[in-house]
Amino acid sequence: MTLLAEGAEVLHRAVTRRSLDPRVIFTPAQRADWPHRYPRGWRVGSRVYQQLKRTRQRRYAILYRRFGAFTMHSEKDYCDNLALADGVRDVPGAIVECGTWKGGMIAGIAALLGPERHYYLFDSYEGLPPAGSLDKDLYGQSGREWQAATRHNDRASLEDAQAAMRLAGVPHVAITKGWFADTLPCYAGGPIALLRCDGDWYESTMDTLTALESKVISGGLVVFDDYYYWEGCAKAVHDYLSRTQSSAVIRTSPGGYAYIRKP
């Protein structure tokens, strides 16, 4: 294979699959064999990959500036979540976020993935429910202590979320107000490509997984916003996967967010 042909193959794979994941751009055989058999071709492919990555990162940064007023995420964390969402670009299905605050995260995802999808936002819009005994942060503070000390309790209005989704410019949006235990079992949106769990507490995470995880299709993602911060969230994930005897593997994004890809 010529150097030009090798580079063209990598470029074609990257563009047609629109992915920045080397596992998609390069086949397992290429990843294992190319650096040794085709060192020049591997360098060309790597440069293509890095260029695509820089281009995509610029797009993420633009979206952060567009929706930054509607999210609590830093630019780094926001862009990392967008990169995860890009991983379902070729997976059909709805985008669902449980715990939206002002809607900035799912609005950025909507602007990234386009108007053909259906987007579902679930939140109490009254702040977090009472924390349970299992909810402690990574510093040892209990969720109950945190709630007693906060004035906002992560409260945002439904109107904020509506404004964010209008800014995203997508037509298929459903926003549901209420507690997860009451609203999520009523979800009727069909197969899910991306499920974002951002409920902080054990019970909220368990409610989300119990109602919706089975609707995430093969190749889809479940992202846990608080897995590495609130112990209750992490325990709920482990308890649910154990209870359902799931073969899914908990992975970590480059920015430090836990997720699973449905087998």
Per-residue model confidence (pLDDT) at position 18: 46
| pLDDT cut 90: percent of the chain above it | 78
Give the C-alpha separation, 94 to 122, whole Å. 13
Q: Does domain 71-261 have CATH number 3.40.50.720?
A: no
pLDDT in tens, 69-104: 999 999 999 999 999 999 999 999 999 999 999 999
Query: Is residue 187 scored above 50 in pLDDT?
Result: yes
Query: Is residue 24 scored above 90 in pLDDT?
Result: no
- Position 53 confidence tier, pLDDT thresholds 50, 70, 90: low
Give the C-alpha separation, 236 to 227, whole Å. 9
Torsion angle of alpha carbons 179, 159, 107, 103, nearest 10°?
Answer: -40
Mean pLDDT, all residues of the chain = 88
Supply 247's token pair: 């073969």
Torsion angle of alpha carbons 146, 147, 150, 156, nearest 10°?
Answer: 120
pLDDT in tens, 137-164: 999 999 999 999 998 999 999 999 999 9
In a 13 Å sphere around the CA of 136, the CA atoms on its Cβ side amount to 7
- Which candidate, 167, 185, 169, places its Cα nearest to that of 98? 185
In this structure, are residues 61 and 54 in contact, taking their beta carbons and an 8 Å threshold? no
pLDDT: is 253 or 43 the higher one?
Answer: 253
Q: The tokens 């669902």 sit on which residue?
A: 96
Query: What are the boundaries of each domain within the chain?
Result: 3-57, 71-261
- For the packed helices 39-67 and 158-168, what is the interaxial angle rounded to 10 degrees? 130
- Position 55 confidence tier, pLDDT thresholds 50, 70, 90: confident
pTM over 0.75: yes
Give the C-alpha separation, 114 to 85, whole Å. 12
Per-residue model confidence (pLDDT) at position 35: 67
pLDDT: is 45 or 218 the higher one?
Answer: 218
Q: Strand, helix or coil at 142?
A: strand
For residue 102, give every residue at least 6 positions away whose Cβ sits within 8 Å of its Cβ, in sequence order, or none. Answer: 69, 70, 71, 156, 157, 160, 161, 164
pLDDT in tens, 221-258: 999 999 999 999 999 999 999 999 999 999 999 999 99
Distance linking the first and last C-alpha atoms of the chain? 34
Mean pLDDT across the stretch 204-228? Answer: 97
Query: Is residue 27 scored above 80 in pLDDT?
Result: no
Q: What 8-state DSSP symbol labels residue 117?
A: S
